[in-house]
Amino acid sequence: QLQLVESGGGLVQPGGSLRLSCAASGPTLDSYHIGWFRLAPGKEREGISSISVNSGRTYYADSVKGRFTISRDNAKNTVYLQMKNLKPEDTAIYYCAAGPDYGLGYLLHAHYDSWGPGTQVTVSS
């Protein structure tokens, strides 16, 4: 059974940085595509970044491109999201999710079938 758990969230000032981790237990993530999503108050769940664990190919939403970087450490079976120059509008619960490493719509929630419980990121002065 694949299980994902996020960590690294917290309170940070605008302009600050955080690194989120998505640690997997069970099978290796090597055959998976991992996405990061966020759910902000009053908004729909937004796909912000994803990565093919095997190939390293990455995808970003325009809202985070240039500020966030997704990466993976296959030896640790973990995917990271490095978030820089954080803004108040980045405040959300951040989720990682696993799905197949093929097809279209890597930033769409329907692509994924396994989800972590989420970690809260709050950007505030």
| pLDDT for residue 28 | 94
Q: Provide mean pLDDT across the span 30-57.
A: 96
Local structure of 107: helix, strand or coil:
coil
Total number of residues shown for the chain? 125
Share of the chain above pLDDT 70, in %: 100
Strand partners, 24: 4
Tally Cβ neighbours within 10 Å of residue 64: 21
Reported confidence tier of residue 49, pLDDT bands at 50, 70, 90: very high
Strand-pairing partners, residue 116, are none
- Residue 1 in tokens: 């059974």
With 90 as the cut, is the pLDDT of residue 103 above it?
no
Q: Across the chain, what does the average pLDDT equal?
A: 97
